Amino acid sequence: MRNLVVAITGASGSVYALRLLDVLVAAGQTVHLTISPAAVEVFKRELGLTFDLNNFNPSDLLAPQGPSSCDVFLQPLKTGPVAGIASSSVSPEDEIPPGKIIYHHYRDYSAGIASGSFLTSGMVICPCSMGTLSSVATGQSQNLIHRAADVHLKERRKLVLVPRETPLSAIALGNMKVLAEAGATILPAMPGFYHDPKSISDLVDFIVARICDQLGVKHALTKRWGDDPR
């Protein structure tokens, strides 16, 4: 197993985060998870999921909490238990030991991911709010999310930011340029259509697949360009 850091912040696109966690755990990864308070509000509004960051268990995030207005997003994804085994749609391998999620409060600077001495294989902020983008670009380190991202930049490790905003201001574009020049990968939640999507879940999987590619995580979420020549 490898240590991967996943941070969820208060941009629209909670479903991307849920699917990403599902796929990473199914692929046998050890995920160090941290969540901003704004992300909690977005989860409630978009997916009808509620939880307390001060008394949080990773299973609270993926466990069913009753009917949701966004079940159309969740059901096709076949989101499994936090420590579940991958389905064939997630991984090309048949037998993969399930990974795990280790939660860190966004104010806990004693967490290993706050230090460069704690080895990881990469970090993704998904979705990434414009406020988080700005804080990382300017090195503010006001919470564990910002600090962990700063660590990945200074240690020259993979850092993937998944902004979900439109239109983009000159300030946001400037921050993205600064981060790209510092070594981060800017991966906007802009799904493609060449893989012939049939559902919203197909569009979600497109983005999650690209994130996994950046992190070096094997998957079989989407058809790749050239796999099905016409």
CA 126 – CA 8 distance, rounded (Å): 5
CA 1 – CA 102 distance, rounded (Å): 13
Residue 230 forms part of a structural domain: no
Instruction: Map residue 177 onto helix, strand or coil.
Output: helix
Residue 143 forms part of a structural domain: yes
Residue 169 forms part of a structural domain: yes
Number of domains in the chain: 1
Residue 111 forms part of a structural domain: yes
CATH number at residue 26: 3.40.50.1950
pLDDT tens track for 105-152: 999 999 999 999 999 999 999 999 999 999 999 999 999 999 999 999
Residue 135 forms part of a structural domain: yes
Residue 85 forms part of a structural domain: yes
């050239």: which residue's tokens? 226
Residue 228 forms part of a structural domain: no
pLDDT tens track for 182-227: 999 999 999 999 888 999 999 999 999 999 999 999 999 998 888 7
Phi first, then psi: give them for residue 7, nearest 5 degrees.
-115, 135
* pTM for this predicted structure: 0.88
Residue 223 forms part of a structural domain: no
Tell me which residue range forms the domain holding 89: 3-215
Average pLDDT over residues 13-35: 96
C-alpha torsion sign, points 138, 109, 4, 73: negative
